A and B are shown apart, each in its own frame.
Chain A
Amino acid sequence: MSAVTTTDRRPRLDGVVPLTALGPGDTGTISYVDPDLDHSVQHRLRLLGFCEGREIAYVRRAFWAGPIVFRVCDVHMCLRAEQAAMIHVRTGA
């Protein structure tokens, strides 16, 4: 739920979008992890490589709206859309 409100608060205008807004092949720079998220979960996402300032690429999504694979810190890591929506990236555009 908070993903939606956060997206509303920070519209796409400034080029910062949740990871789920990217498509296969898109890249961006991680801007922030949703501050409303439980602190331990924020911390974990950062230690998985989803730190502010890191380059990230959307690789692919499993069929039937399954989890999404991202390339970050030279590693392929997959997240479900719920968590990916908590991570916001600044896109090149």
Chain B
Amino acid sequence: MSSALSHHAHAGSADSGGGSPRIALIGSPNGGKTSVFNRLTGLHAKTGNYPGVTVSRSAGVARIGGAEYSIEDLPGTYSLSPISPDERLVAELLDGGVKGIGAPDGLLVVADSTALRRSLLLFAEVVQRHMPTALVLTMSDELTRRGGSIDTEALGRALGVPVVTVVANRGIGIGELRELITGWRDWSVPPVDPPTDTAELAGWVDSVLAAGGYEDPRADARTERIDRVLLHPVLGTVIFFAVMFGFFQAIFTWAAPLQDGVEDFFGWLAGLAAEHIGNPLLSSFVSDGLLGGVGGVLVFVPQIVMMYFILALLDAVGYMSRAAFLMDRLMSRFGLEGRAFVAVLSSFACAIPGVMATRTLPNSRDRIATMLGVPLATCSARLPVYILLVGILIPDGTRVGPFSGRGVAMFLLYLLGGVSALTASAVVKRITGRHDGVLPFYMEMPPYRIPTPRSVGIAMWEPTKAFLRKAGTIILATTIAIWALTTIPLRGDAELAAAGVDPGDEVAVTAYTMEHSAAAAIGKAIEPVFEPLGFDWRIDVALLGSLAAREVSVSTLGQMASALDPEDDSEVAQGLDGWTYTDGPRAGEKVFTPATTVALLLFFAFALQCMSTVAIMRRETGGWRWPSIAFGYMFVLAWVMAFLGRAVTLLIT
């Protein structure tokens, strides 16, 4: 005991758990482990990364009867014998070999009671580590529904460890589980080890389950019936595309009115602020910097919430693993697996959920490859930029066969986004994979389940919160920084008058202030880099603005083009049409020629102009290495593509 206590003190110094006992949850993916964890910790989990690896960690505190217990939700696994560097982490963690975390005091194996013949194999590996262990059986309602049964006490006697039964989603059995945790010191180490030879393990499991009076559940008839339709070669494919169509419809069409509402509301607030705050600098800061930034974050929220709701629902029902099953073959062509499909799909709304979705991939090579590819998918912040530039490039009324020219161009840009994301992932996977063996692909297909509102709510709220926290702070900070760079110092009326600008003409004042701002100086300084692409310093300032969120570049361009309403596409386009180079060898020539417009479109398609994505990549990979590589390669790719696009356009026009 004393050795165990000193061990806590050691682990506690580096961990938030203090001296409280540390309990680790071990179980397979889809086994109900996360629901048990959520019930125990009451949603106060901290998520982060294990030191030095791209494996996300969630740990929390359970308060039971006045005492605190640190609960660690280990990554879902089918075995403690690692086949990838990520899985080695779990084994090392149990040995106390992970820096700053320390070995757990007790192990709670969470096993799906409808899959005990499989789940007890993992249990056998766990008890061989000779640590205090207990077993939690989940989904017991489903076991009963499918005609199976188990005698929990008899099973406990046969295994030599305490066993409790829970239905975590509905909170049944959680009280008993909490009581069990308080007695972790009495959890036994079974006197006799299960066989170490895996070939004999099945026999051991069978004898233990026979002693526990286990009746196997029937195959789930409901699941069979649904799968016969949803995984049908023809019908299943049609339904899959219908689901995808519904997904995009929801996040783009149904979320749009809400997004407009958010935009209008913040526009109105900014107007109020501008009207009522006397100090011009403060007024500009509140209306353009602060409210602009908060609005810039919140405008994404309806879409993100909608997307996470649909993803959480599809996942809770069991459709996500079916979608991954259907897409695996296609994804394998790009060196990825079916589960990476969710990340790519999410990235069409925003790269941030896409990067976060890579957590479901079991190995880090796939995670990195997917993470480095998905920012190329056409995210919704690119959409306003594309609409503006395509509008400039292609005159209204142009037709390609029966389709509108602008529509075709937009479709091609989306296609480009998808194909380039997958191709980039394939290339990264190939480059990073030189030293590794090939890992087997396997995926469990859970029965279809009717989710509880609570579980869907948790599944959508957690990532939404993460998005708001991470993207929110970055977008807000970047917006304010860019506001400062484009606005400070404010120009006095005398200076404006001397420069021939009417101080009463707000639009002209904004344009003048911007032209003489720090941002303009930066734009002019970096002009040589973008000069071969045909961008002038004002476009460079807009590129700078897009670092907050790509769509910000539209209003930045609008402000510099002296558009009355910098959010209105046609007005901005009109303003941009009149732009000429202000200096250099091309002075006086038109800026937004087709060649420049194509170059700018392609630059936006490929560049990682989004600080929030960079920040989320840093969080998910636990370092600056991968975000730097992503930013670097995408910048080079964007520059080269824009250059080629410009050259080709110059040739054909």
**B 431-453 contacts with A by CB, 8 A:** 437, 440-447
Contact stretch, chosen from B78-86, B164-172, B298-306, B577-585: B78-86
Q: Which chain A residue shows the least CB distance to B77?
A: A47
- Interfacial chain A residues near B326, Cβ < 8 Å: 62-63, 66
- Interfacial chain B residues near A77, Cβ < 8 Å: 442-445
Interface string of B231-245 (1 = CB under 8 A from A): 101001100000000
Q: A76 to B83, alpha carbons, bound, how many Å?
A: 22
Task: Give the contacting residue for A74; candidates B115, B198, B328; CB below 8 A.
Answer: B115
Query: Could you tell me if B198 and A46 are in contact, using CB atoms closer than 8 angstroms?
Result: yes
Distance (Å) between the CB of A56 and the closest chain B CB? 12
**A 71-93 contacts with B by CB, 8 A:** 71-80, 82-83
Interface string of B189-201 (1 = CB under 8 A from A): 0000000001101
- Point out which of B82, B201, B440 has the most chain A C-beta atoms below 10 A from its C-beta: B440
Q: A49 to B122, alpha carbons, bound, how many Å?
A: 10
Known: A47-B121, A75-B118. A52 touches B445 (CB 8 A): no
Query: Could you tell me if B118 and A74 are in contact, using CB atoms closer than 8 angstroms?
Result: yes
Query: Could you tell me if A40 and B233 are in contact, using CB atoms closer than 8 angstroms?
Result: no
**Could you tell me the dominant secondary structure of chain A's interface residues?**
mixed
Q: Which chain B residue shows the least CB distance to A46?
A: B198
Distance (Å) between the CB of B243 and the closest chain A CB? 16
Query: Could you tell me if A44 and B81 are in contact, using CB atoms closer than 8 angstroms?
Result: yes
Q: A44 to B440, alpha carbons, bound, how many Å?
A: 9
Chain B residues in contact with chain A, CB under 8 A?
A: 78-79, 81-83, 114-118, 121-122, 125, 198-199, 201-203, 216-217, 219, 223, 227, 231, 233, 236-237, 325-326, 328-330, 332, 338, 437, 440-447
Q: A74 to B329, alpha carbons, bound, how many Å?
A: 25
Distance (Å) between the CB of A48 and the closest chain B CB? 6
- Interfacial chain B residues near A67, Cβ < 8 Å: 325, 328-329, 338, 441, 443
> Any chain B CB within 8 A of the CB of A3?
no
Query: Could you tell me if B79 and A63 are in contact, using CB atoms closer than 8 angstroms?
Result: no
Query: Could you tell me if A78 and B233 are in contact, using CB atoms closer than 8 angstroms?
Result: no
Chain A residues in contact with chain B, CB under 8 A?
A: 38, 40-49, 51-54, 59-60, 62-67, 69, 71-80, 82-83
Known: A43-B79, A74-B118, A77-B445. A66 touches B328 (CB 8 A): yes
A-B contact pairs, 30 of them (CB 8 A): A38-B437, A44-B79, A44-B83, A44-B440, A47-B118, A47-B125, A48-B118, A49-B117, A51-B198, A52-B202, A54-B202, A62-B326, A63-B237, A66-B326, A67-B441, A69-B231, A69-B325, A69-B445, A71-B219, A74-B114, A74-B118, A74-B216, A74-B217, A74-B219, A75-B444, A76-B444, A78-B444, A83-B440, A83-B441, A83-B442
Distance (Å) between the CB of B142 and the closest chain A CB? 11
Q: A67 to B332, alpha carbons, bound, how many Å?
A: 10
Q: 3 tightest A-B contacts by CB?
A: A66-B329, A51-B202, A73-B118
- Interfacial chain B residues near A59, Cβ < 8 Å: 227
Query: Could you tell me if B325 and A53 are in contact, using CB atoms closer than 8 angstroms?
Result: no
- Interfacial chain B residues near A49, Cβ < 8 Å: 117-118, 121
Task: Give the contacting residue for A79; candidates B121, B202, B329, B440; CB below 8 A.
Answer: B440
A-B interface pairs (CB < 8 A), number: 119
- Interfacial chain A residues near B233, Cβ < 8 Å: 63
- Interfacial chain A residues near B325, Cβ < 8 Å: 62, 66-67, 69, 78
Known: A67-B328, A73-B118. A52 touches B441 (CB 8 A): no
Distance (Å) between the CB of A30 and the closest chain B CB? 9
Q: A59 to B446, alpha carbons, bound, how many Å?
A: 14
Q: A77 to B328, alpha carbons, bound, how many Å?
A: 14
Q: Which chain A residue shows the least CB distance to B236?
A: A63
Query: Could you tell me if A78 and B237 are in contact, using CB atoms closer than 8 angstroms?
Result: no
Q: Which chain B residue shows the least CB distance to A75?
A: B115
Q: Which chain A residue shows the least CB distance to B440?
A: A83
- Interfacial chain B residues near A80, Cβ < 8 Å: 328, 332, 440-441
Query: Could you tell me if B118 and A46 are in contact, using CB atoms closer than 8 angstroms?
Result: no
Task: Give the contacting residue for A47; candidates B79, B114, B446; CB below 8 A.
Answer: B79
Q: A29 to B249, alpha carbons, bound, how many Å?
A: 46
Q: Which chain B residue shows the least CB distance to A63?
A: B233
Q: Which chain A residue shows the least CB distance to B444?
A: A77
- Interfacial chain B residues near A53, Cβ < 8 Å: 202-203
Q: A59 to B442, alpha carbons, bound, how many Å?
A: 15
Known: A62-B325, A66-B325, A78-B445. A51 touches B199 (CB 8 A): yes
Distance (Å) between the CB of A1 and the closest chain B CB? 12
Q: A64 to B231, alpha carbons, bound, how many Å?
A: 12
- Interfacial chain A residues near B231, Cβ < 8 Å: 60, 62, 69
- Interfacial chain B residues near A83, Cβ < 8 Å: 440-442
Q: Which chain B residue shows the least CB distance to A38?
A: B437
- Interfacial chain A residues near B444, Cβ < 8 Å: 75-78
Query: Could you tell me if A41 and B440 are in contact, using CB atoms closer than 8 angstroms?
Result: yes
Query: Could you tell me if B82 and A40 are in contact, using CB atoms closer than 8 angstroms?
Result: yes
Q: Which chain B residue shows the least CB distance to A72?
A: B118
Distance (Å) between the CB of B87 and the closest chain A CB? 9
Q: A4 to B202, alpha carbons, bound, how many Å?
A: 27
- Interfacial chain B residues near A45, Cβ < 8 Å: 440, 442
- Interfacial chain A residues near B121, Cβ < 8 Å: 46-47, 49, 51
- Point out which of A47, A48, A52, A72 has the most chain B C-beta atoms below 10 A from its C-beta: A47
Distance (Å) between the CB of A87 and the closest chain B CB? 11
Q: A18 to B64, alpha carbons, bound, how many Å?
A: 51
- Interfacial chain A residues near B440, Cβ < 8 Å: 41, 44-45, 79-80, 82-83
Task: Give the contacting residue for A73; candidates B115, B203, B338; CB below 8 A.
Answer: B115
Q: Which chain B residue shows the least CB distance to A41?
A: B440
Further pairs besides A63-B236, A63-B237: 20, Cβ < 8 Å: A43-B81, A44-B442, A46-B198, A46-B201, A48-B442, A51-B121, A51-B199, A52-B202, A54-B202, A62-B325, A62-B328, A66-B328, A67-B338, A67-B441, A74-B216, A74-B217, A75-B115, A75-B444, A78-B445, A83-B440
